[in-house]
């Protein structure tokens, strides 16, 4: 009870500046553009639920229909487990099953991160599914050694699948960082002769240039290096990091394409270093 009171007071203190500065409608009133009729909400519900499912699992490779497995396992536990723990299973079921109805009832569709609280009931439900599988294995394979071999194999396979999924998701979410690493690896020791970097001024070009800059400085901190944000009239920079629509307007004779990330940037390095670039 004391913990609930502390949380309540903390939330009030955190929201107090917002309440004082803004009218009450800023907290409870939705913009008309954010409100959707129930027919549109019904059409958008399946992709919205899939997005929430992907967000909670941290993977986009699992169909939404797979949630029926932990839901069924939780339902069986709620029916068969001892009475003292049934309330927990019922609460998990209600929280997970209520999501589609909330989508239909709320005129404004909540953001994906709004459903973060569902991670706890989802983990409990997945735990029920795991326990159900273990119970089934015990019934099918009464031999102790064989039973634990099957369980160990299932757990190991699950861990391998989770690791592979993590690698795929990480490479997808941070694709530009992997591309930058590949570009720097292709440059190899040629990065030592980079004394000027040219960018077109966009956010991604600066992001890439920053990695090139720090990699270059880490190898030779005593040598000066400059970053030029211009239209490259003279093309004297040792490295050019360009927006996709800029490469066609710039004379790239004497430059080699190091790498590119679709729609974000292209990186070029001068084939022959310009020794007058810093003078």
Confidence at 278, pLDDT banded by 50, 70, 90: very low
Same domain for 184 and 136, yes or no, is no
Residue 69 lies inside a defined structural domain of this protein: yes
Q: Which of 8-12, 59-63, 97-101, 275-279 has the lowest mean pLDDT?
A: 275-279
Residue 28 lies inside a defined structural domain of this protein: no
Same domain for 135 and 181, yes or no, is no
How many other C-beta atoms are found inside a 10 Å radius of the C-beta of residue 209? Answer: 21
Structure tokens, 167: 């690698």
Sign of the dihedral defined by the CA atoms of residues 73, 76, 81, 83, in that order? positive
Task: Encode pLDDT of 65-110 as tens digits.
Answer: 888 888 888 888 888 877 667 788 888 888 888 888 888 877 777 7
Same domain for 132 and 44, yes or no, is yes
Confidence at 54, pLDDT banded by 50, 70, 90: confident
Nearest of 29, 32, 31, 27 to residue 14 by alpha carbon: 27
Backbone angles phi, psi at 75, to 5 degrees: -60, -40
Q: Out of 119, 140, 161, pick the residue that ends a domain.
A: 140
Mean pLDDT of 161-188: 87
Instruction: Give the DSSP H or E segment for 240.
Output: strand 239-242
Structure tokens, 184: 């720097």
Q: Is the pLDDT of residue 273 over 70?
A: no
What's the domain range around 180? 176-270
Residue 117 lies inside a defined structural domain of this protein: yes
Same domain for 134 and 195, yes or no, is no
Can you give the CATH number for the domain in which 221 is found? 3.40.190
Q: What is the mean pLDDT of the chain?
A: 80
Residue 279 lies inside a defined structural domain of this protein: no
Residue 146 lies inside a defined structural domain of this protein: no
Residue 4 lies inside a defined structural domain of this protein: no
pLDDT of residue 230: 64
Same domain for 55 and 119, yes or no, is yes
Same domain for 186 and 243, yes or no, is yes
Task: Encode pLDDT of 226-250 as tens digits.
Answer: 877 765 554 578 888 888 777 777 7
Confidence at 63, pLDDT banded by 50, 70, 90: confident
Confidence at 279, pLDDT banded by 50, 70, 90: very low
Mean pLDDT of 40-45: 80
pLDDT of residue 275: 47
Same domain for 131 and 180, yes or no, is no
Could you tell me if 74 and 83 are in contact, meaning their C-beta atoms sit under 8 angstroms apart? no
Q: Out of 116, 140, 164, pick the residue that ends a domain.
A: 140
Nearest of 258, 193, 253, 260 to residue 225 by alpha carbon: 193
Same domain for 132 and 53, yes or no, is yes
Could you tell me if 241 and 210 are in contact, meaning their C-beta atoms sit under 8 angstroms apart? no
Q: Out of 121, 140, 159, pick the residue that ends a domain.
A: 140
Same domain for 135 and 75, yes or no, is yes
Q: Is the pLDDT of residue 260 over 80?
A: yes
Residue 149 lies inside a defined structural domain of this protein: no
pLDDT of residue 191: 87
If one counts the domains in the chain, the total is: 2
Same domain for 118 and 210, yes or no, is no
Same domain for 106 and 61, yes or no, is yes
Residue 230 lies inside a defined structural domain of this protein: yes
Mean pLDDT of 193-199: 86
Strand arrangement of the beta sheet that strand 255-261 belongs to: 226-229, 196-199, 239-242, 265-270, 255-261
Same domain for 108 and 188, yes or no, is no
């Amino acid at each position: 009870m004391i913990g609930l009171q502390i949380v309540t007071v903390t939330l009030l203190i955190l929201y107090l500046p917002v309440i004082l500065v803004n009218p009450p409608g800023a907290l409870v009133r939705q913009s008309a553009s954010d409100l959707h009729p129930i027919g549109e909400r019904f059409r958008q519900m399946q992709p919205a639920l899939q997005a929430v499912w992907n967000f909670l699992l941290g993977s986009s490779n699992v169909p939404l229909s797979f949630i029926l497995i932990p839901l069924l396992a939780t339902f069986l536990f709620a029916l068969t487990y001892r009475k003292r723990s049934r309330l927990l299973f019922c609460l998990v079921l209600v929280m997970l099953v209520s999501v589609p109805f909330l989508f239909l009832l709320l005129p404004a569709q909540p953001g994906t991160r709004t459903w973060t609280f569902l991670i706890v009931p989802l983990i409990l439900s997945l735990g029920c599914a795991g326990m159900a599988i273990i119970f089934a294995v015990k019934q099918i394979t009464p031999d102790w050694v064989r039973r634990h071999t099957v369980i160990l194999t299932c757990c190991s396979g699950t861990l391998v699948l989770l690791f592979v999924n993590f690698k795929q998701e990480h490479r997808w979410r941070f694709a530009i960082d992997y591309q930058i690493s590949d570009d720097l690896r292709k440059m190899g020791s040629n990065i030592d002769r980079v004394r000027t970097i040219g960018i077109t001024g966009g956010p991604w070009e600066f992001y890439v240039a920053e990695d090139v800059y720090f990699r270059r400085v880490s190898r030779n901190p005593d040598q000066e290096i400059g970053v030029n944000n211009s239209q490259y009239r003279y093309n004297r920079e040792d490295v050019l990091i360009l927006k996709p629509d800029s490469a066609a307007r710039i004379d790239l004779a004497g430059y080699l394409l190091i790498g590119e990330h679709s729609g974000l940037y292209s990186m070029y390095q001068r084939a022959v270093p310009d020794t007058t670039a810093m003078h």
